[in-house]
Structure 1
């Protein structure tokens, strides 16, 4: 069996667990001595397979709301997608996956020598934390502590209450701390009882069994989410930030994501679909983003090398930013052609780069870029969070973050081969020279002035820009800080200015009615203008 077929066999094996009924899970639980390679390992791989973004999530939430609310992008018209469909994508994926995560963790506790399962348990804790943080960040309070446990057969776990986001954060950060402190990176790890550690082997299609990578990912998540809650609970967040800064973090060249090429040529077809189908081709370059990469509307005015990788000229060959709430027209799908990037349906405003959204086979879905680590460290040093305040150290990490982001995208260009023999490398500009990078760092919109407040604002701006294809993280940063770039000429509607959370899935009102009604009564409704716990 070749590698591609073997990977999908593993994913299908895990999918069996995702779709099996309670009876099947109970049968799995009848083995009380120790898990075998046909239980925990396929469960882990099935969870990994759910890390891909969903199509409706991207089309109806990212394109229609997150890009516009953060002003990282703009839309010339509302697409034909329905917000609730994207919500269902996220909600249903999470709760079906949570069962497998909890079941896998249960299985790690069933062996006599529990230490032998430490690495697998750590992986499950990290995956559960990543999945749960993403969901609670978007919705706020969610069912968590008693959710995803229907496999145990206890009817009390079929419909469970909503847990406060603050308690979920505390629990997940504790889990990540346990994972980071208990991962054994030795290739032939042995427990204190003399037994070899159980390994995931080829079922780890994420890091290929490299536990040092899992450690870095888990610790980087600690840094990300401790910083996420620092505005609301600095007393708890600061020690986590301090500890995370002393342990391994994702380094340059180790960007974490779902890489199609490493999965036997996996086809991320929903990426193109989410931009090209159903009118979602209304996404355009925002004036806010353009102001952060250019000082005008000519090629010569562009000072950020990422500009031509993120966006492109309109059909007339002009750089034409869309001012949110002020510009009008261009009610066309700029991505109607799947084979010819020069055909933009006569669009008036600059669209996202055709190659960036068209590639399904090489460009990864980024989960945690090394540039983000640099920006988080820069913020910690600029604000004195978990480390002594030091503007020079902040500037060093800030410039490293920008450099890491630029290098990441130009390295992606080299390998992207989209369709019909069209390669991005032949259409994109060459990698920036040292002189071009110096000009970027010297531009007044980028350069530090020496003042701490200015440093923090600049850090947020560049972190925001680095999230161009991770709009959910730009959305988090916008909500947490209230200090991401804004074009003063823009006039977003109230819908976007107060889009603070996703509404709960509509099925909750039917399938979990009592708990759902209690939750929305506590919140004052199921509206998008209700702030999540960690917001200011």
Structure 2
């Protein structure tokens, strides 16, 4: 019997558990040979279900270990969203800039084993010619996933990935982004052709689509929205390309972008697969709300606060919203000391879909495009900014009230109820209400700050945007254990390459570090990171 599992492996998040001690990601460990895969997908689901992890990697059976080290103990921290109450490694770890090599290679591994490998198998077995619309979705997923990987490390093997198990060359980040845009060109053209012709697949794609239930028009909107996101990433490094790609993404004739919450790029969970962030928060108690997001929400009297944040359960300051400042948990701390600080709020459960991109984010990207004077933004910066806030409020089912007209509320100072040495004043006085007479840079801060609030809890993109724009203004780390490598003012700019690359691909890795233009450490800026 034909089992059309097709792209579920590549489509999205989930799958078997992986550990912090990962195997060689240049080795095919799937147990299925290329010869076993056929364009009719006979029994292909066995292989693809093993490789179901993609974009954000989490596991069934209650073990989101990979997600924890791939994102939660990295980008989620550096974005200002979360902080761990657990003094891992004796209190010296990523939370205070003592970079943990055993954690920091996970995203690299996931990119190649769980994204590039299965998609390469699909192409080897002619999925690109047999079912171009399905191949388009695979390409979109690859760009979405691998853009995160390059935005974590910088130069990575991409154009030649899969061609060799040793001596795998690195591409510059500039070249990788150019390739992303070309791949999105192919994907969107195939989707538009499929949609315009009214074609039908010989199987029910919806059964295996955990995002859009087989709606290729929504995949097209996501592809255009992803192009817009990537275009904005590079605006300081290559302004001309950024504008051209953004205007292409926003051109209505190309299929449109995400405009409603019904088209948000979120991945459904269920069965043995749970929301990994919620699992880590509720079941392990290994993550808590960061001081930054708590202080912005409290200072703004933000209606989303109860959805995002739970109140403290510590008996000494119960029923308050209290985040943990990055770097506050040191070697002298115990997990119980901070476990009662704010956890995730009422909007989150183990079955909450995992968020990748939302309509609100797209409105803020469009607001920035309008502010830049680019074509096809579809409104003024003010209109799109206000729509972004409104759409976010709708996403979280909260009443917006007078939020848009609030011209006085400012982010709150941070007060640690247990350790006053962590107390610190707010880093900005930016308010909510749009002011068209404000300086351009103030407008950019306003857009970026509200976009950051709206993107919660997706820390990877929030960290990227913070590095790109410099906003929102975050508290400096409370204790810096980087031995002078990472400055308090700039924070972590990237993750160092995994030790596995030094062990197995050292010659090409060293060329990649040359392309990086700096040192393989957490302080070196990426190509697009000009702030």
**1:292 counterpart = 2:329:** no
- CA distance 1:144–1:53, change in 2 (3 Å): same
CA RMSD across the alignment? 3.9
Aligned to 1:140: 154
Aligned to 1:351: 342
For residues 258-305 of structure 1, give each alpha carbon's deviation from its aligned partner in whole angstroms, at most 9, with x where no partner exists.
1115xxx35316434533677724x3441x32342233xxxxxx6211
Deviation at 1:168, TM superposition (A): 0.8
Equivalences for residues 453-468 of structure 1 within 5 A: 453-468=441-456
For residues 101-146 of structure 1, give each alpha carbon's deviation from its aligned partner in whole angstroms, at most 9, with x where no partner exists.
1221233378xxx4x6321221121111111111111110001111
Deviation at 1:250, TM superposition (A): 1.3
Deviation at 1:230, TM superposition (A): 1.2
Equivalences for residues 248-287 of structure 1 within 5 A: 248-253=256-261, 254-261=263-270, 265-268=271-274, 270-275=276-281, 280-281=286-287, 283-286=288-291
Paired residues of 1:255 and 1:368 also in contact (CA < 8 A): yes
Aligned to 2:304: 306
Aligned to 2:524: 530
* Partner Cα distance (1:138, 1:347) in 2: 28
Aligned residues: 465
Aligned to 1:483: 471
Secondary structure in 2 aligned to 1:207? coil
Paired residues of 2:55 and 2:141 also in contact (CA < 8 A): no
Equivalent of residue 242 in structure 1, options 243, 247, 263: 247
Paired residues of 1:501 and 1:532 also in contact (CA < 8 A): yes
For residues 23-64 of structure 1, give each alpha carbon's deviation from its aligned partner in whole angstroms, at most 9, with x where no partner exists.
9534247x6xxx213388887777665344343454346444
* Partner Cα distance (1:447, 1:41) in 2: 51
Aligned to 1:183: 191
For residues 219-241 of structure 1, give each alpha carbon's deviation from its aligned partner in whole angstroms, at most 9, with x where no partner exists.
11100101111110011111110
Equivalent of residue 219 in structure 1, options 216, 220, 224: 224
Aligned to 1:384: 373
Equivalent of residue 394 in structure 2, options 372, 392, 407: 407
Secondary structure in 2 aligned to 1:507? helix
Paired residues of 2:158 and 2:171 also in contact (CA < 8 A): yes
Q: TM-score, normalised by structure 2?
A: 0.75
Secondary structure in 2 aligned to 1:317? coil
Structure 2 unpaired stretches of 5+: 17-25, 59-63, 95-99, 411-430, 481-485
Q: TM-score, normalised by structure 1?
A: 0.75
Aligned to 2:350: 360
- CA distance 1:272–1:206, change in 2 (3 Å): closer
- CA distance 1:275–1:531, change in 2 (3 Å): same
* Partner Cα distance (1:324, 1:514) in 2: 36
Secondary structure in 2 aligned to 1:257? strand
- CA distance 1:441–1:139, change in 2 (3 Å): same
Pick the structure with greater CA Rg: 1
Deviation at 1:309, TM superposition (A): 1.9
- CA distance 1:128–1:43, change in 2 (3 Å): farther
Equivalent of residue 75 in structure 2, options 58, 61, 66: 66
* Partner Cα distance (1:521, 1:20) in 2: 28
Structure 1 unpaired stretches of 5+: 150-155, 296-301, 334-344, 411-430
**1:208 counterpart = 2:213:** yes
- CA distance 1:132–1:20, change in 2 (3 Å): closer
**Which is richer in helix?**
1
* Partner Cα distance (1:244, 1:408) in 2: 23
